[in-house]
């Protein structure tokens, strides 16, 4: 806002303003713009570092979720294979053979 006021004064008064008014006014506008530029640069760097921290947190969160899902799927598939194997074992042939070649191949493909 102060920069805009100084610009209006320089624009309308311009060359008619005495040197002792014009030089400090231009210096003040320059310093103000420099301070604004530094502040914006700092704000951008701070915001970017905050976004990086948030992305790293979400990466850890999703990584842990993926690991838990994989562990749950592995546990579920092992339990399903155990049930499948127990079912096939209970249907074994009367001769006492608990696992025929076809049953072994079926179990191997379904539980792999």
DSSP-derived secondary structure for 42-69: HHHHHHHHHHHHHHHHHHHHHHHHHHHH
Predicted confidence pLDDT, tens digits, the chain (112 residues)? 666 777 777 777 776 777 887 788 888 888 888 998 999 999 998 999 899 999 999 999 999 999 999 888 888 877 777 666 666 666 665 554 444 444 444 444 445 4
105: tokens are 């191949």
User: From CA 74, how far away is CA 80, in angstroms rounded?
Assistant: 10
The structure tokens 């191997």 sit at 108
Positive or negative torsion for Cα 31, 32, 35, 36: negative
Domain ranges of the chain: 1-63
Structure confidence by residue, pLDDT tens digits, 1-11: 666 777 777 77
Q: Give the phi and the psi of residue 46 in degrees, each rounded to 5.
A: -65, -45
1: tokens are 């806002």
């Amino acid at each position: 806002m102060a920069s805009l006021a100084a610009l209006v004064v320089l624009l309308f008064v311009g060359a008619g303003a005495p040197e002792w008014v014009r030089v400090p006014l231009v210096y003040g506008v320059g310093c103000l713009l420099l301070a604004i530029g530094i502040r914006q640069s700092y704000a951008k760097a701070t915001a970017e570092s905050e976004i990086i921290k948030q992305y790293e947190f979400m990466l850890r969160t999703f990584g842990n979720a993926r690991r838990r899902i994989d562990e749950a799927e592995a546990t579920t598939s092992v339990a399903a294979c155990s049930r499948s194997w127990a079912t096939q074992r209970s249907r074994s042939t009367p001769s006492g053979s608990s696992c025929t070649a076809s049953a072994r191949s079926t179990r191997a493909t379904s539980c792999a």
